[in-house]
């Protein structure tokens, strides 16, 4: 059976990309990384992907007449590699409406909060400022509205009294590295069903799409 071909978009170190590379290298994993595209030529993740033997491309957003022009260039590169699922892994660009429409149902992101709470940037500090007792990460479909697409899966972590932004971010990131490869596996196995704003993961336990960590 052919493996699902994924394309990963990054802007920086690409730690979630690295987690997906490790997963894809494991025997029996049903997805393969067709390409990695960055908008930043000096993104450390580009070298990581290249060292892993993955096709890479850099497409700068600078100098483009508008967002959609850049988005179309990125899309053309993904299409050239036969990508079936686009995975955002620290891609620090806001798309024009064209891109999520073109890749509707085939474009996912991981966000370091329990959406719909704490959208945008510095969300770990937002969580600390709000005094919540649980935070975590969310994998969701990408739509034209920022951080508002249907939720696929979440991982929750405790917020400790001793936490600062760095400590909470690190704890959440460890769960991101668990959750993202799992969700990509579900896609490859055809187990994700989206109906409107609700997503169902079939063929598993009812609570398969929620991970808990008691990690201190």
Give the pairing type, strands 31-38 and 56-58: parallel
- State yes or no: is 122 an active-site residue: no
Q: How many CB atoms lie within 10 A of CB 25?
A: 12
**Which residues on neighbouring strands pair with residue 35, listed in sequence order?**
7
CB 124 within 8 A of CB 168: yes
Angle at which helix 165-188 crosses helix 123-130, to 10 degrees, equals 120
Q: Are 9 and 86 in contact (CB under 8 A)?
A: yes
Alpha helices in the chain (DSSP H): 15-25, 44-51, 67-80, 98-102, 123-130, 165-188
Separation of alpha carbons 20 and 2, rounded Å: 18
Does the bond joining 142 to the residue before it have cis omega, within 30 degrees of 0? no
CA 163 to the chain's CA centroid: 24
Which residue do the tokens 């959406």 mark? 115
Choose, from 111, 122, 140, 177, the residue flagged as catalytic.
111
Residues noted as catalytic = 111
């Amino acid at each position: 059976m052919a493996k699902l071909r994924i394309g990963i978009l990054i802007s920086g170190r690409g730690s979630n990309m690295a987690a997906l590379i490790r997963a894809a290298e494991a025997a029996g994993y049903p997805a393969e990384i067709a390409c990695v595209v960055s908008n930043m030529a000096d993104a450390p993740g580009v070298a990581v992907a290249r060292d892993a033997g993955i096709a890479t491309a850099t497409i700068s957003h600078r100098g483009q007449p508008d967002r959609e022009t850049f988005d179309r260039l990125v899309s053309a590169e993904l299409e050239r590699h036969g990508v079936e699922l686009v995975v955002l892994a620290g891609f620090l660009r806001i798309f024009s409406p064209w891109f999520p429409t073109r890749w509707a149902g085939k474009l996912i992101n991981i966000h370091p909060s329990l959406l719909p709470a704490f959208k945008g940037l510095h969300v770990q500090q937002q969580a600390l400022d709000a005094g919540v007792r649980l935070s975590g990460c969310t994998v969701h479909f990408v739509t034209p509205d920022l951080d508002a697409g249907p939720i696929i899966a979440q991982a929750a972590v405790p917020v400790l009294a001793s936490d600062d932004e760095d400590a909470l971010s690190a704890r959440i990131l460890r769960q991101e590295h668990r959750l993202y490869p799992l969700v990509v596996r579900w896609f490859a196995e055809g187990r994700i069903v989206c109906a409107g704003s609700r997503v169902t993961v079939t063929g598993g336990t009812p609570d398969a799409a929620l991970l808990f960590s008691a990690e201190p």
